[in-house]
Amino acid sequence: MTQPVRPSVAIYPGSFDPITRGHEDIVRRTLIFCDRVIVAVGHRATQAKQGLFTIDERVELIKAVFEDEDRVDVAAFSGLLVDFARERNVGLIVRGLRAVSDFEYEFQMALMNRDLHPGIETLFLAPDARYSYLSASLVREITSLGGDMSHFVSPVVQRKLLSKLQST
Amino acid sequence: MTQPVRPSVAIYPGSFDPITRGHEDIVRRTLIFCDRVIVAVGHRATQAKQGLFTIDERVELIKAVFEDEDRVDVAAFSGLLVDFARERNVGLIVRGLRAVSDFEYEFQMALMNRDLHPGIETLFLAPDARYSYLSASLVREITSLGGDMSHFVSPVVQRKLLSKLQST
Amino acid sequence: MTQPVRPSVAIYPGSFDPITRGHEDIVRRTLIFCDRVIVAVGHRATQAKQGLFTIDERVELIKAVFEDEDRVDVAAFSGLLVDFARERNVGLIVRGLRAVSDFEYEFQMALMNRDLHPGIETLFLAPDARYSYLSASLVREITSLGGDMSHFVSPVVQRKLLSKLQST
Amino acid sequence: MTQPVRPSVAIYPGSFDPITRGHEDIVRRTLIFCDRVIVAVGHRATQAKQGLFTIDERVELIKAVFEDEDRVDVAAFSGLLVDFARERNVGLIVRGLRAVSDFEYEFQMALMNRDLHPGIETLFLAPDARYSYLSASLVREITSLGGDMSHFVSPVVQRKLLSKLQST
Amino acid sequence: MTQPVRPSVAIYPGSFDPITRGHEDIVRRTLIFCDRVIVAVGHRATQAKQGLFTIDERVELIKAVFEDEDRVDVAAFSGLLVDFARERNVGLIVRGLRAVSDFEYEFQMALMNRDLHPGIETLFLAPDARYSYLSASLVREITSLGGDMSHFVSPVVQRKLLSKLQST
Amino acid sequence: MTQPVRPSVAIYPGSFDPITRGHEDIVRRTLIFCDRVIVAVGHRATQAKQGLFTIDERVELIKAVFEDEDRVDVAAFSGLLVDFARERNVGLIVRGLRAVSDFEYEFQMALMNRDLHPGIETLFLAPDARYSYLSASLVREITSLGGDMSHFVSPVVQRKLLSKLQST
């Protein structure tokens, strides 16, 4: 019996407030073994804290970062990640792991998602070592204090960060 | 531009002394997103400690466990994993992660392998929670002390374990 | 000299917002070696965030879950856990440990409580592996997003969760 | 219905090569909530490396340390810990946890032992913070290099350590 | 060629809300290898949550604790730590590490600070084991619940804590 | 009262079998805040396993790597590190930390060394992120399997490694 050859798609979920070079690295590594990646910006209608960027702004920034890569789609979702995956008919989730604290939280979520929908599998990737100490919250905090994050975000993201923080 | 659709293959390397249900679980989960898995038994010619099973025995046990699954190949390799992967023209390695100690060792190896051969990517999977406390060394130790490991290895592996340990 | 044989009692403190099957598992395991368990719902008068359930609702849910087990008492406490234990004349505290992050926080508390009142000892238990990735906050979040938590909470808790979240 | 009041016993297993003040601390804390403790020195007939002290010497040292405490028994066992516990009709195992690496190994063993014999429960205790960085292997190594371990082992253990290491 | 001998200075940054004996321990250990320590209370103008003590109160408490030690300076800073260090012409930052969770966060910050300003190096120290489970947040919480923190803070800090919490 | 200004010296102990670029990085960072570094190769007369390089070879390799840096001394020591430090009249030890497993072992040693000799303080540094997954054992293993470690060791070390491994 031959295995049907089909295009493979993965969802890369997160807050992306904003997308960093660490996130970009995970997307590009996923494209090594997947045909398409859906970068999925999660949000909750009821969430008190808004974040720095609106969901629409985050989606626009990710689109701008990957404007030359037609194998990347960007979408926002509310509700359960596994429901979003089912809706899109995608069985693969990818997540980057940097540290032990990531590892524990991510495994908790992966095992819970598997329980909620057994057909969906989560794959973990190691980002480039240069980004092992990078997080979106650090990018927001350091930029707000006047630090230069140009090593850690794309130019389009840095411009938006600076204009956003000046207007705050 | 359309992305060429190709069959995807992953290497699942390890010692497999012997293969456990935790290993089997990782193989079956990999087959959700890959078309084939090569289970690769690593060994070193110069290694002092031999292990419980010879490399040939380990390969035979894995073949026996997956005899009904024609998408699984089994091979032994010595030398660097990345050289074996290159030889087989495979760009994906999969590894299971159970605990924080696994995580750190596995990430060290993944980052080093990436440095040795940048085209090869390592993916990490969570085994079923039932196998989160299982290891081949625990299987060997508990069986040798008379404990029942039938929840944790396939029947063919358990038979071999018992006959091996009786003859020791 | 003979050791006086006395009934043994343990306090199992927590937020229980709401009680999960992981919590229930720890209570039942404690009853293997203790004669009684006091499930103690901690709260702070000054606390800004209220949680999903009120303290009274949490106590009622725990009572409902253990209505057939007369060795379980349920109580609310504010103030220091060690003061509550002293008041009840109980020298044992039990806590479940799931992950490394739990471990560090729990040990910090156990050592601090020992400093505050040296006669009180904290015992840690491992929950069933099925519940190793379960937490009350995950139960709240996933239920609010429409996910099914019936594997992870008792039916009485699930009913209350659903009615509470519909009215929000 | 009243709960039958019975004397409670716990097994404290380990290598105890030799017993340290950290081990003593765990024994004394266990006696707060148990009527008796069986300190159980595990060994394997087939084990290549012998350790510093023989099994008989380790048992004698533990007996000497607790000679004024008639609630402590000392025994050697080979084979599975759960078989030893069953034989002694004891349902409780206690273990000290110092660090994250302990935690992971100990939980793996506790969950495996629960699988091998569901009626046996493992309790974890935190040693005194003064002993959080103490291990028997460190005691052996530092004493062999001429360091003073009198803060960390009982006088009888220190005398035996010094005479043992001089004769090596 | 002889190396110019110069006085060495380190910055010890933190929130210090309030300073604990664990913080004091790190300052005194730093004075073993540095000629001066600047205890630097970080704050953010835009920060919603105020903490228990104002920045001025925290600075005053640290000054009171070290009033007999003329090698300790105290300062408040807002903005990036590396900018504060550069301004003061100091190339050394010291931080205490207690637990694995500290370790990961602190390394993330140290590596990020090194990226922001390569000439600044962060050194980590282990506090005394007695303070390994101590944190300023625990001091605030336990004092507010009526617990005695006199082992863990200086008398001047304890007095201020009690009067502050009575007035709340 | 003025603080006497004195040249500061640190000991950097390890096995260095062989010295890697990660070790070199720690030495160079230490020279930012110390006037001299003594790289101290620890060994035990009674040790069964010899390592790849002899103690003399390891010392020679470190000297070769730092031949242009007259602020680095190299020495071998057996016995306790704190005795070696006392002999050399040095009160500072430096160690690199890469991962959580390092952290726990290193803290255990630092706290034990502090107990053995309270005047000696251990400082921990983060290596460059590029070396966060590097270890001497990985260098030995990968070189022996034919992998290229030229990113991770100095040229003089790589030449010696290759000739050593060819002659094995």
pLDDT digits (tens, 9 = 90+) for E95-149: 998 877 777 788 888 999 999 999 899 999 999 989 988 999 999 999 999 999 9
What pLDDT score was predicted for residue F1? 34
Using 50, 70 and 90 to split pLDDT, how confident is the model at A17?
Answer: very high
Is A3 part of any domain?
Answer: no
Is E163 part of any domain?
Answer: yes
For E157, counting Cβ atoms within 10 Å of its Cβ (0-12 exposed, 13-18 middle, 19+ buried), the class is: buried
A: neighbours with 3+ CB pairs under 8 Å? Answer: B, C, E, F
Contacts of A100 in chain C (CB under 8 A): 100
What is the average pLDDT score of chain A? 90
What pLDDT score was predicted for residue B41? 96
* Tokens matching residue F97: 């930390």
CA distance F19 to chain E (A): 22
* Total residue length of chain C: 168
Residue of C nearest to D69 (CA): C1
Contacts of B125 in chain A (CB under 8 A): 121-124
Cβ distance of B115 and F146 shorter than 8 Å? no
Q: Which among B36, B103, B119 has CB closest to A103?
A: B103
Tracing tokens 């990660």 back to the chain, one arrives at: F22
- Per-residue three-class SS string for chain C: CCCCCCCCEEEEEECCCCCCHHHHHHHHHHHHHCCEEEEEEECCCCCCCCCCCCHHHHHHHHHHHCCCCCCEEEEEECCCHHHHHHHHCCCEEEEECCCHHHHHHHHHHHHHHHHHCCCCEEEEECCCHHHCCCCHHHHHHHHHCCCCCCCCCCHHHHHHHHHHHHHC
Contacts of A33 in chain B (CB under 8 A): 8, 91-92, 121, 123
Q: What is the DSSP string of E54-69?
A: -HHHHHHHHHHHTTT-
> Is the pLDDT higher at E106 or at C91?
C91
What pLDDT score was predicted for residue E55? 95
Using 50, 70 and 90 to split pLDDT, how confident is the model at F165?
Answer: confident
Residue F120 has pLDDT above 70, yes or no: yes
Q: How far is CA E70 from CA E65, E96, F53, in A?
A: 11, 22, 49
Give the β-pairing of D9-14 and D36-42.
parallel
B: neighbours with 3+ CB pairs under 8 Å? Answer: A, C, D, F
C: neighbours with 3+ CB pairs under 8 Å? Answer: A, B, D, E
Residue among E54, E50, E39, E166 at smallest CA distance from E96: E39
Which DSSP state fits E131? G
E: neighbours with 3+ CB pairs under 8 Å? Answer: A, C, D, F
Residue E7: cis peptide before it, omega within 30 degrees of 0: no
The Cα–Cα gap between C44 and A154 comes to: 45
Is F1 part of any domain?
Answer: no
User: Which residues make Cβ contacts (< 8 Å) with residue C166, sequence separation at least 6?
Assistant: none
- C-alpha B19: how far from chain center: 7
Is F3 part of any domain?
Answer: no
The Cα–Cα gap between D129 and D120 comes to: 28
> Is the pLDDT higher at B106 or at F17?
F17
Counted domains in chain F: 1
Phi, psi of A67 (to 5 degrees): -65, -25
Give the β-pairing of B121-125 and B92-96.
parallel
Using 50, 70 and 90 to split pLDDT, how confident is the model at B42?
Answer: very high
Provide the CB-side half-sphere exposure for C106 (13 A, CA): 28
**Cα angle E149-E152-E156, degrees, rounded to a multiple of 5:** 80
pLDDT digits (tens, 9 = 90+) for E51-85: 899 999 999 999 999 999 999 999 999 999 999 99
Q: How many CB pairs under 8 A join D and E?
A: 10
Domain range for E77 is 9-167
Cβ distance of F147 and B82 shorter than 8 Å? yes
F: neighbours with 3+ CB pairs under 8 Å? Answer: A, B, D, E
F8-26 average pLDDT score: 96
Using 50, 70 and 90 to split pLDDT, how confident is the model at F6?
Answer: low
The Cα–Cα gap between A86 and A93 comes to: 11
**Cα angle B98-B104-B109, degrees, rounded to a multiple of 5:** 105
List the pLDDT tens digit at each of the 168 positions of chain D: 334 445 689 999 999 999 999 999 999 999 989 999 999 999 875 555 678 999 999 999 999 999 999 999 999 999 999 999 999 999 999 999 887 777 778 888 899 999 999 989 999 999 998 998 899 999 999 999 999 999 999 999 999 999 998 876
Residue among C23, C55, C4 at smallest CA distance from C136: C23
Is B77 part of any domain?
Answer: yes
* Tokens matching residue A74: 């960007």
What pLDDT score was predicted for residue E26? 97
pLDDT digits (tens, 9 = 90+) for A73-117: 999 999 999 999 999 999 999 999 887 767 778 888 899 999 999
* Chain A, window 123-162: residues with a beta carbon less than 8 angstroms from a chain E beta carbon: 132-135, 138, 142, 144-148, 151
**Cα angle F110-F112-F115, degrees, rounded to a multiple of 5:** 110
Residue E48 has pLDDT above 60, yes or no: no
The Cα–Cα gap between C119 and C92 comes to: 9
Is C136 part of any domain?
Answer: yes
Query: Is the minimum CB–CB distance between E100 and chain C shorter than 8 Å?
Result: yes
Q: Looking at chain D, list the stretches that DSSP marks H as alpha helix, in order from N- to C-terminal side.
A: 21-33, 55-65, 81-87, 100-116, 136-144, 155-167
Q: Which among D133, D135, D146 has CB closest to F80?
A: D146
pTM over 0.90: yes
E41-52 average pLDDT score: 73
Contacts of C132 in chain A (CB under 8 A): 111
The Cα–Cα gap between A58 and A139 comes to: 14
Residue A168 has pLDDT above 90, yes or no: no
Query: Is the minimum CB–CB distance between D108 and chain B shorter than 8 Å?
Result: yes
What pLDDT score was predicted for residue B50? 73
Query: Is the minimum CB–CB distance between A91 and chain B shorter than 8 Å?
Result: yes
Query: Is the minimum CB–CB distance between F92 and chain E shorter than 8 Å?
Result: yes
pLDDT digits (tens, 9 = 90+) for C8-64: 899 999 999 999 999 999 999 999 899 999 999 998 755 556 789 999 999 999 999
Cβ distance of B80 and F144 shorter than 8 Å? no
A27-43 average pLDDT score: 94
What pLDDT score was predicted for residue A4? 43
C68-85 average pLDDT score: 96
Q: How many CB pairs under 8 A join B and F?
A: 34
Residue among E23, E5, E123, E113 at smallest CA distance from E74: E23
What pLDDT score was predicted for residue C64? 98
Q: What is the phi-psi region of residue F6: left when phi exceeds 0, alpha when psi lies from -120 to 50, beta otherwise?
A: beta
* Tokens matching residue F37: 């570094």
Cβ distance of D133 and F107 shorter than 8 Å? yes
Contact F11, F41 (CB under 8 A): no
Residue of A nearest to E111 (CA): A133
Residue among D103, D112, D89 at smallest CA distance from D7: D89
CATH code of the domain containing F68: 3.40.50.620
Cβ distance of F80 and D142 shorter than 8 Å? yes
Using 50, 70 and 90 to split pLDDT, how confident is the model at E5?
Answer: very low
Q: Which among B100, B101, B147 has CB closest to D80?
A: B147
Tracing tokens 């992971």 back to the chain, one arrives at: D104
Using 50, 70 and 90 to split pLDDT, how confident is the model at B5?
Answer: very low
Instruction: Tell me how far apart the terminal alpha carbons of chain F are, to the nearest angstrom.
Output: 61
Is A127 part of any domain?
Answer: yes
CA distance C43 to chain B (A): 32
Give the sign of the dihedral formed by CA D23, CA D27, CA D28, CA D32. positive
Residue of E nearest to F9 (CA): E33
Preferred mutation among B49, B81, B104, B105 to probe F, highest tally of F CBs within 10 A = B104
Using 50, 70 and 90 to split pLDDT, how confident is the model at E7?
Answer: low
User: Which residues make Cβ contacts (< 8 Å) with residue F4, sequence separation at least 6?
Assistant: none
Q: Range with the lowest mean pLDDT among C45-54, C90-99, D130-139, F115-124?
A: C45-54
Give the β-pairing of B36-42 and B72-77.
parallel
Cβ distance of A132 and F129 shorter than 8 Å? yes
Starting at the edge strand found earlier in the chain, the sheet holding D121-125 runs C72-77, C36-42, C9-14, C92-96, C121-125, D121-125, D92-96, D9-14, D36-42, D72-77
CA distance C7 to chain D (A): 6
Q: How far is CA B30 from CA A88, B110, B127, B128, E80, in A?
A: 21, 17, 11, 13, 45
Phi, psi of D32 (to 5 degrees): -70, -35
Cβ distance of E97 and F1 shorter than 8 Å? no
Using 50, 70 and 90 to split pLDDT, how confident is the model at B24?
Answer: very high
Phi, psi of A95 (to 5 degrees): -145, 145
**Residue D5: how many other CB atoms lie within 10 Å:** 11
Residue of B nearest to D44 (CA): B145
Cβ distance of E147 and C108 shorter than 8 Å? no
Is E4 part of any domain?
Answer: no
B24-37 average pLDDT score: 95
Using 50, 70 and 90 to split pLDDT, how confident is the model at B1?
Answer: very low
What pLDDT score was predicted for residue E47? 55
Q: Which among E80, E101, E108 has CB closest to A133?
A: E108
Q: How many CB pairs under 8 A join E and F?
A: 76
Q: Which among D78, D83, D104 has CB closest to B101?
A: D104
Query: Is the minimum CB–CB distance between E105 and chain D shorter than 8 Å?
Result: no
Which DSSP state fits D88? T
CA distance F155 to chain B (A): 17
Query: Is the minimum CB–CB distance between C46 and chain E shorter than 8 Å?
Result: yes
Contacts of B129 in chain A (CB under 8 A): 111
Cβ distance of F132 and A132 shorter than 8 Å? yes
Query: Is the minimum CB–CB distance between A101 and chain C shorter than 8 Å?
Result: yes
What is the average pLDDT score of chain C? 90
Cβ distance of F142 and B46 shorter than 8 Å? no
What pLDDT score was predicted for residue C6? 52
Residue among A119, A123, A124 at smallest CA distance from A91: A119
Contacts of A7 in chain B (CB under 8 A): 3, 5
